[in-house]
Amino acid sequence: MTDSPDQTRAGFVALIGEPNAGKSTLLNRMVGAKVSIVTHKVQTTRARIRGVAMEGASQIVFVDTPGLFRPRRRLDRAMVAAAWGGAADADVVVLLVEAHRGVTEGVEKILEALAERAVPKQRVALAINKIDRVEAPVLLALTKDLNDRFPFAHTFMISAEKGHGVDTLRKWLAGELPAGPWLYPEDQIADLPMRMIAAEITREKLTLRLHQELPYQLTVESEKWEDRKDGSARIDQVIYVSRDGHKGIVLGNKGETIKAVGQAARVVMEEFLGRKVHLFLQVRVRTNWQEESERYDEMGLDFKDGNT
Ligand SMILES: Nc1nc2c(ncn2[C@@H]2O[C@H](COP(=O)(O)OP(=O)(O)OP(=O)(O)O)[C@@H](O)[C@H]2O)c(=O)[nH]1
């Protein structure tokens, strides 16, 4: 059967790769909106975030997976499981490799895992990212090396940050998806609840402001969301820290840290929502938040995965 050109297609695409490979940057480029938060620190993606891109008559639903790294704590283990969960559900898997880092130990591990876990019906593509950082011969050698190690359906050379090659990749993905009706209304760019995006925005600002290890030990939740009659939104968020001492750090001298974080986050939220936001932040100590199942559910992670 030949599909007509306006045949609709829809399916899931998982972006996988080492922490910092550029998955969030690529997702944002493909979707054209800031749905996933980019910072300069690794392991910032705490949830399986999906973005939806339209390309011709195809709807591409992206699963942005957390970095695949060696599990250490319970939370890390759940994140690895979530990453593979995303890949297992996908019609197409795109492995992002950093051009200037080449075949690292982490990339080798992912290739091994792909060989074991990729479902036969899946198409696995290679996207060599950050090509702006290397010369052509390096790129060609890396392409050959990686294709010798795994039978990729296609290789793309991209710069997610600069946008090079991203349209070509998106067009190819669109053509690989199964024929069928769209999964989301066309105007919906992300199925991530707005509360979760708002929490991610605050967490990003905290991460940028607090340069130590501390940000990895805190989580942000939007407890309340009120759409006001005047068109503005009131958002109440709680920043959970794991130790009493951390509370003071997040608050800062006379509350100046949390004030600055709140202001910066509010500006981004207003930009994102296109309306005025009243943001209220609170800090609470919860010593064992990393062990609590409801925290995992809210982050889109499956708590039982962390138990294995
Ligand atoms: N030079 C260059 N830098 C890039 C490119 N794409 C992404 N980056 C940078 O690489 C860093 C990591 O990008 P992210 O998109 O956060 O990476 P990630 O894979 O989502 O990271 P995790 O959330 O830790 O898994 C950021 O500082 C990006 O600006 C690129 O094409 N060229």
pLDDT at 198: 85
The reply to whether 21 sits in an annotated binding site is yes
CA 166 to chain centre: 17
Going from N- to C-terminal start, the domains of the chain cover 9-176, 194-307
Measured from the CB, is residue 106 less than 6 Å from ligand 1?
no
Identify the CATH homologous superfamily for domain 9-176. Answer: P-loop containing nucleotide triphosphate hydrolases (3.40.50.300)
pLDDT digit string, tens, across residues 132-147: 999 999 999 999 999 9
**What is the Cα–Cα distance from 163 to 4, expressed in whole angstroms?**
30
pLDDT at 87 over 90: no
Q: Which among 27, 34, 76, 24 has a CA at the least distance from the CA of 299?
A: 76
Per-position DSSP letters for 250-307, written without gaps between them: HH-GGGHHHHHHHHHHHHHHHHHHTS-EEEEEEEEE-TTGGG-HHHHHHTT--GGGGG
Distance 23 CA to ligand 1 centre (A): 7
- Specify the residue with its C-alpha closest to ligand 1, atom 9: 22
pLDDT at 187 over 60: no
HSE toward the beta carbon, residue 239, CA cutoff 13 A: 33
- Asked whether 219 and 196 are in contact (CB, 8 A), the reply is no
Structural domain 194-307, CATH architecture: 2-Layer Sandwich (3.30)
Question: Is the complex ipTM more than 0.95?
Answer: yes
pLDDT at 228 over 50: yes
Total Cβ atoms within 10 A of residue 263? 11
Q: Can you tell me whether residue 173 is helix, strand or coil?
A: helix
In this structure, of 151-155, 243-247, 251-255, the range with the lowest mean pLDDT score is 243-247
pLDDT digit string, tens, across residues 200-221: 889 889 988 887 656 556 888 8
> In whole angstroms, how far apart are CA 18 and each of 49, 66, 215?
16, 9, 20
Distance 24 CA to ligand 1 centre (A): 7
